[in-house]
């Protein structure tokens, strides 16, 4: 579904990604771990199309299409979803209105009929129930005055409603306590399907206790230096990242 080859990207003139290679197939859950400054969030943002980052080399093919050639909103309509690390606030618009507008933009792209507010509430309730997240946040302005946990839950609820093909979770676990973590992980697990895929960017192994990845990759100094199964996460937890450094230098 997603094929990244030799991806290089920089921000404000500094190159952060020095040639990333990664393949993700439908039905898979991949985790990307790595030390601070390795470029994990950069990778997530570049895949979503954040304007602050410039791609300086490499290709990204998504479902046979050139992802880098699509505008951010086009990528979203094609089914790419980014759960932000720091979801932004938008006052004056309720979550319900925002999410319905987003869903309708995506539905329109897929040739489906747009939903009116009443039909939307039905869909929302159904999805919220399926992932066991409450929908009490829906009438509040988007992320306005939300706690860290509420913002992350809101991201996942949006994900449930928009039904992406490729979901990228950017440090969704940061700032969450154990209970919030379990709730979010439970929701993500319930959204797994054979035809979608998830890329989890995380700093700590903890989240991976609750969401079992198929593949774990380590991103260090702008490149993927090691890949493995879920055991790799435990090894990193025990040994840290330094033991990979000589291997990184060799790559």
Partner 1 sequence: MTSIESQVLQPYKYGFVTDIDSDTVPPGLNEDVIRLISAKKGEPAFLLEWRLKAYRHWLTMKEPRWANVTYVGIDYQAIRYYSSPKQQKKWDSLDQVDPKLLETFEKLGIPLGEQKRLTGVAVDAVFDSVSVGTTFKETLAKEGIIFCSFSDAVREHPDLIEKYLGTVVPSSDNFFAALNAAVFSDGSFAYIPKGVRCPMELSTYFRINASSTGQFERTLIVAEEGSYVSYLEGCSAPMRDENQLHAAVVELVALDHAEIKYSTVQNWYPGDAEGKGGIYNFVTKRGICAGRASKISWTQVETGSAITWKYPGCILQGDDSIGEFYSVAVTAGRQQADTGTKMIHIGKNTKSTIVSKGISAGRGQNTYRGQVKILKGATGARNYSQCDSMLIGDQCGAHTFPYIDVRNSTATMEHEASTSKIGEDQIFYCKQRGLSAEDAVSMIVNGFCKEVFRELPMEFAVEAQNLLGISLEGSVG
Binding region for partner 1 (CB under 8 A): 48-52, 71-73, 75-77, 81-82, 84, 87-93, 97-99, 101-103, 105-106, 109, 141, 158, 162
What pairs with residue 170 in β-bridges?
Answer: 201
Q: How far is the CB of 155 from partner 1 (least distance, A)?
A: 10
* Closest among 141, 147, 137 to 90, alpha carbons compared: 141
Nearer to partner 1 by C-beta: 89 or 125?
89
Helix, strand, or coil here: 135?
coil
CB contact at 8 A, 62 and 118: no
Q: How far is the CB of 97 from partner 1 (least distance, A)?
A: 8
Q: How far is the CB of 236 from partner 1 (least distance, A)?
A: 29
Nearer to partner 1 by C-beta: 96 or 233?
96
Nearer to partner 1 by C-beta: 168 or 181?
168
Half-sphere exposure at residue 130, Cβ-oriented, CA atoms within 13 angstroms: 18
Nearer to partner 1 by C-beta: 142 or 236?
142
Q: How far is the CB of 109 from partner 1 (least distance, A)?
A: 7
Bridge-based pairing state of the strands 215-220 and 29-33: parallel
**Burial level of 218, CB count in 10 A (0-12/13-18/19+)?**
buried
């Amino acid at each position: 579904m997603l094929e990244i080859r030799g991806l290089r990207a920089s921000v404000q003139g500094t190159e952060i990604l020095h040639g990333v290679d990664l393949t993700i197939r439908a039905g898979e859950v991949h985790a990307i771990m790595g030390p601070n400054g390795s470029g994990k969030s950069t990778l997530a943002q570049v895949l979503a199309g954040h304007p602050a980052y410039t791609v300086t080399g490499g290709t990204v093919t998504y479902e046979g299409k050139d992802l880098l050639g699509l505008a951010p909103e086009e990528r979203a309509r094609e089914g790419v979803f980014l759960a932000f690390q720091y979801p932004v606030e938008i006052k004056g618009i309720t979550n319900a209105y925002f999410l319905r507008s987003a869903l309708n933009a995506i539905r329109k792209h897929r040739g489906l009929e747009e939903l009116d507010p009443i039909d939307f509430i039905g869909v929302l309730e159904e999805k919220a129930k399926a992932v066991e997240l409450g929908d009490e946040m829906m009438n509040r302005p988007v992320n306005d005055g939300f706690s860290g946990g509420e913002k992350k839950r809101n991201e996942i609820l949006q994900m449930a409603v928009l039904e992406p093909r490729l979901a990228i979770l950017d440090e969704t676990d940061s700032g969450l306590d154990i209970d919030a973590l379990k709730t979010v992980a439970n929701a993500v697990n319930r959204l797994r399907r054979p035809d979608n895929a998830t890329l989890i960017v995380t700093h700590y192994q903890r989240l991976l206790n609750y969401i079992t990845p198929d593949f774990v990759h380590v991103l260090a100094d702008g490149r993927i230096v090691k890949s493995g199964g879920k055991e790799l996460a435990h090894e990193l937890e025990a040994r840290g990242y330094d033991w990979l450094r000589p291997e990184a230098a060799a790559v």
